[in-house]
Structure 1
Amino acid sequence: MSFADEANSAVPTLPSTHSGIPTFLLEKAQKAKEGIFETRTKPANERQRLPVVPLGIERDEFTKALAELRGQLGAEHVEINDKPLKDGWYMEHPNTHDMMTILDEEELVASAVVYPGSTEEVQQVVLWANKYRIPIFPISMGRNLGYGGAAPRVRGSVTVDLGRRMNQILDLNPEDYTCLVEPGVSFYALYEAIQAKGYAHMWIDTPDIGGGSVLGNTIDRGVGYTPYGDHWACHAGLEVVLPTGDVIRTGMGALPGSNTWQTFPYGFGPYSDGIFSQSNYGIVTKMGMTLMPNPGGYESFMYTFPKEEDLGPLMEIIRPLRISNILENVAQVRHVIQALAALGQPRSKFFTGSGPIPAEVVHAAATTATAVGDYTWAYYGMAYGPAHIRAHKLALVDAEFKRIPGARRVDPATLPADEYFWARDRVAAGVPDIHELRWVNWTPNGAHVAFSPVSPIRAADATALFALGKRAHDRYGIDFFPAFCVGLREMHLIVEIVFDRDDGAARRAALDCLRDMIDEAAALGYGEYRTHLVLMDQVASTYSWNDGALMKFNERLKDALDPNGILAPGRCGIWPKRYRGRGWEMTRESGHVSEGSGVEPAGL
């Protein structure tokens, strides 16, 4: 397919494909796609290529092994990655590499992709990988954008794409508000299934964009924006294929004939679920999840604050309101520059100079280009429940927020239908959307990568992290996009660096900026909760208390559960024995090369 054909092709929809868009979002998705391709200048990749073979495996042996796997799964379920690497876009993304790569696109790339159709076939793939000592990298749907997408950490790994054939909602219970899902069920699909069954009394909790896997997002400890926003806290029970091919169920699912798998997460004995989140200790094939009851009404609200220095006082106001649940959902405090970027227009519309866009340009553009007008910080929140309860809570919030001089509550009736406020309104009401990534159009060939430290909800922490991020971005000439996502007792600063992935200098600046922020944040006591594949070793190394006792423990678990080191080596900085000490860890000193010097030979 040519570049023009790709840009003009129809967006895939549900239920024709598990990864499609709901029809109610189709027009919006098509416009989003058009906007992305309008700013794309990177030529379509037509480079012919041989499949990458993982280090430690001879090409002839690898070819023989893949032929054997085809015989087990069917030839149509094993694809060699020997075609040009196509970037696609959010709804039509690759499963062979990271569409938003921060390295050369041939670095974090798969050798092949396999599509198991059942837990039993996942077992077959795992046993096959052990036989040949071939690294495998499981994905649910591959939409972990900003953190590596579908790319494997070890170049030449075989990607195990669970979503294409394992995409069923196995149970949807309207009485206890639970579901049981396979890896290929997206937030879009779960929402559509609930609507189709007429279960208006149940809500889902969705991230900013709903195309990702419910299971995949949850085990990576992703978040949404209703009171059920902590997805990992809302899961209940897993089915897991271990790296040896054994299968276990956790929690109540371990009881044969259990009728409470999705309603009680703990079961009996040690609680093992945690070792399967953000790890490489097993492949999760089923997951129970709790759903939110319809609160009987909701009302979104938005406040703006005029000055940069309002950030600290605002956090001191937010903290007691959030802890007492007057502020009920995982809300966002976002900088005005993101209001400009969310228009989906290129930076060049507002500024064509070098270096970060000047503050005065941002404020002037916000005044004329956005429906909300000029400000520095915006708070997006939602109140839930019947009208009289919402009114009481909103009055408390209004009185507190207006202690900050110049605070303004925005009247939603003044905002057009495409204003970003309405995307936040839908997401906070459990309705998945596709608005959020419009800000990647800020640069040509827009890509993004996230810096995501966690801190208490305090003025000192917010201002320290903001200053740290701004200094680093100024140092590298990058526009600074800060947003604070406020949990019950902590907040995540999510900084999205938007860069031109076809520009080597821009990629290097983005990576160097991220490495600086990680080290500087760790020196102040702040650690990331999630990170890109390229940065996992560095982030893991910051959790170094007691001479790295936690990583030593993680490595002991890895070696016990995965003696051949075949499952997602290097994920979250956890390397199996056969890779350790061979230069695989990516650090500032290792530069932009993802491979080490080899692997330990079999039998040692």
Structure 2
Amino acid sequence: MRSAARRHHSSPGAAPLPRQDAADKAYRRSGSSGRIDAAYGRLAAALGDDAVLGPGSDLSAYEDPYAFGGSEDFRCSGAVLPRSVEEVQAVLAIANQHGIPIWTVSTGRNLGYGGAAPRVSGAIVLDMQRMNRILEVDEEHAYALVEPGVRFVDLYEHLREHRLKLWMSAPSLGWGSVLGNALERGIGYTPYGDHAAQICGMEVVLANGDVVRTGMGALPGANTWQMYKGGYGPSLDGLFLQSNLGIVTKLGLWLMPQPDGMMSCTVHFQRESDLEAAIDVLASLRRREIIQSNAQLGNVLRDVAHRYPRSRWYDGPGAMPDEVLDEVRRDLGIGWWWILRFGLYGDKELRDARFRIVQREFSRIPGAEITGHEHLASGSDGLHAWEVEGPAGRLAGVPGFFSLNALKFRGDDCGHLDFSPIVASSGREAARVYNHVKARAREHGIDYLAGFTAGVRHLNHVFTILYEKHDAKQTSSAAALLDTLIREMGRQGIGGYRAHLAFMDLIGDQFSFNEHALRRLNETLKDALDPNGILSPGKQGIWPAASRKQRAGTR
């Protein structure tokens, strides 16, 4: 069946971070205040006053909520909230005419990487949250077609309301955009947890207002737009991931047919030194597809930080000492150092067989404790995601907000930055990176919440750097730590896959093969598709010709 569409209403030697003196410099960045005012007047005429937040409006929603250098660093001059593709085209026409940069966000929930704030101060935020229709869900072929403002919680409720036999995948926080997260290569915890890999077909508005549909969508009347990725000719979808080459207004995404059952599994490892063996076993099981879902391995401090405040055991300066962490473990009765979580899916015979293999492989690590909990369907039509309750729900694609608890670890005014390198799925490499990052974190006085999410052939190592925003020393240390890690890991051939606004250029600098040939190619495409350089300048370190010099001057 197809459900009806539904609308939902400082380290020594580290370079200084980019700063702006005050908010009024935002205007000078993108032209005179007179030209800005004229542009906002035209935007209001085209979209309506209720869709335009101009200078003088409350723009706090478009500031980085965890700003580490002051919210004026990346401050917009205003925002527009279009309701349709035609209104997006109108915004682009005005921005091109006035030469004002546009910064596109789907819902602006990219927390830890800058939120809804723009890379260039003075930009107009193009906020797509009002384009929030679930255009189609096809149960037979297991896909959805959505607009940018559709959140994970919206898609989940749609599937639940219509009792569709489909599972989605959600990241650690369910309030963000399904489309935006996939374009940023976000990850979830089901077998469909590589969200970018599930993309099938886009509608894109180019800088000149032209509307393009990729893949089979270029064929009028095609009913396979969300079924076959290739289309005819070059596959262009990848151009618009983490990109400033166009604005994606519709996205096809494959969904998971719901299984007959699921087993949520946990493995505890007793020693810090077990990391290497644990990753080697996990990597083998993932490559052999015994473990089908993205599997998340975290250290004890990461787990504790989601449940208790740090001050319960330690409120001193610097990183929590090892002896204090030992006290934490004794106090909570925790005997393990690492915890691994994943799911097994399919018919019972398959789940049982996979679990026996998992038990056999992990039991080779002394002291490893493996448990599995069955989640079974209440009826004959398979296991619905909403039947999986508690923390295991994320393994069924149930959106949640549990990760927000970590922001209470350092107090009520806690901020965070994310260091997100891609690491080879090798125990030796994971242990090397872990020890290196741990040493650097300790040098900078930052607690090391270590987490590895295992893809099929790689690890996403997301280190959530927590700090107290009101503490200037902690804030500076957090930024300096991230700066140091990006540079040092880059020299070791390890690059980040996502970046905070202030570090986009620095991460881009690490990808320097053949004198930055990839960046030169990206910027050649940028200049051809966006000659006025209005679309999200500086995103992922890709600058248009007119403002390319800003990259050299920021870090």
Q: Report the TM-score when normalising by structure 1.
A: 0.84
Instruction: State the Cα deviation string for residues 317-347 of structure 1 (Å, max 9, x = none).
Output: 112111011111101110000121111x321
Cross-structure match for 1:472: 440
Corresponding residue SS for 2:360 = helix
Contact preservation (8 Å) 2:8, 2:154: no
- Equivalences for residues 13-412 of structure 1 within 5 A: 18=9, 52-83=26-57, 86=60, 94=61, 96-163=62-129, 165-199=130-164, 201-343=165-307, 345-369=308-332, 373-410=334-371
CA, structure 1 residues 56+145, in 2 after alignment: closer, same or farther (shift >3 Å)?
Answer: closer
Deviation at 1:367, TM superposition (A): 3.5
Counterpart CA distance in 2 for 1:429 and 1:346 is 28
| 1:522 lines up with 2:490 in the alignment | yes
CA, structure 1 residues 468+585, in 2 after alignment: closer, same or farther (shift >3 Å)?
Answer: farther
For structure 2, the 5+ residue unaligned runs are 1-5, 10-21, 375-387
**Amino acid paired to 2:69:** L
Cross-structure match for 1:540: 508
Corresponding residue SS for 1:528 = coil
Cross-structure match for 1:500: 468
Instruction: State the Cα deviation string for residues 423-459 of structure 1 (Å, max 9, x = none).
Output: 5411111111111120111113111111111121112
Deviation at 1:146, TM superposition (A): 1.0
Cross-structure match for 2:392: 425
Counterpart CA distance in 1 for 2:495 and 2:250 is 30
Deviation at 1:252, TM superposition (A): 0.8
Q: Which moved more, 1:130-139 or 1:493-502?
A: 493-502
Q: Which moved more, 1:356-365 or 1:510-519?
A: 356-365
Corresponding residue SS for 1:64 = helix
**Amino acid paired to 1:76:** D
Contact preservation (8 Å) 1:112, 1:157: yes
Corresponding residue SS for 1:380 = strand
Counterpart CA distance in 2 for 1:105 and 1:65 is 24
Corresponding residue SS for 1:527 = coil
| 1:485 lines up with 2:453 in the alignment | yes
| 1:454 lines up with 2:422 in the alignment | yes
Residues matched between the structures, number: 524
Counterpart CA distance in 1 for 2:317 and 2:506 is 30
Corresponding residue SS for 1:142 = coil
Deviation at 1:584, TM superposition (A): 6.0
Contact preservation (8 Å) 2:198, 2:253: yes
**Amino acid paired to 1:362:** L
Contact preservation (8 Å) 2:310, 2:410: yes
Counterpart CA distance in 2 for 1:505 and 1:84 is 29
Contact preservation (8 Å) 1:202, 1:291: yes
| 1:463 lines up with 2:431 in the alignment | yes
**Amino acid paired to 1:406:** G
Counterpart CA distance in 1 for 2:80 and 2:281 is 51
Counterpart CA distance in 2 for 1:208 and 1:283 is 25
CA, structure 1 residues 489+477, in 2 after alignment: closer, same or farther (shift >3 Å)?
Answer: same
Counterpart CA distance in 2 for 1:361 and 1:217 is 37
Instruction: State the Cα deviation string for residues 31-82 of structure 1 (Å, max 9, x = none).
Output: xxxxxxxxxxxxxxxxx97794251411112111111111111111101253
**Identity rate, percent:** 39
Q: Which moved more, 1:511-520 or 1:577-586?
A: 577-586
Cross-structure match for 2:403: 436
Deviation at 1:502, TM superposition (A): 2.3
Counterpart CA distance in 1 for 2:231 and 2:309 is 52
Deviation at 1:360, TM superposition (A): 2.6
Contact preservation (8 Å) 2:30, 2:101: no
Counterpart CA distance in 2 for 1:543 and 1:334 is 28
Counterpart CA distance in 2 for 1:293 and 1:105 is 43
Cross-structure match for 1:595: none
Cross-structure match for 1:45: none
Cross-structure match for 1:37: none
Counterpart CA distance in 2 for 1:425 and 1:56 is 47
Corresponding residue SS for 2:461 = strand
Deviation at 1:386, TM superposition (A): 2.5
Deviation at 1:365, TM superposition (A): 1.5
For structure 1, the 5+ residue unaligned runs are 1-14, 19-47, 87-93, 414-420, 588-604
Contact preservation (8 Å) 1:314, 1:401: yes
Deviation at 1:220, TM superposition (A): 0.8
Contact preservation (8 Å) 1:312, 1:463: yes
CA, structure 1 residues 17+102, in 2 after alignment: closer, same or farther (shift >3 Å)?
Answer: farther
Deviation at 1:505, TM superposition (A): 1.9
**Amino acid paired to 2:136:** D
Counterpart CA distance in 2 for 1:473 and 1:423 is 32
CA, structure 1 residues 122+407, in 2 after alignment: closer, same or farther (shift >3 Å)?
Answer: same
Counterpart CA distance in 1 for 2:218 and 2:272 is 52
Counterpart CA distance in 1 for 2:23 and 2:87 is 29
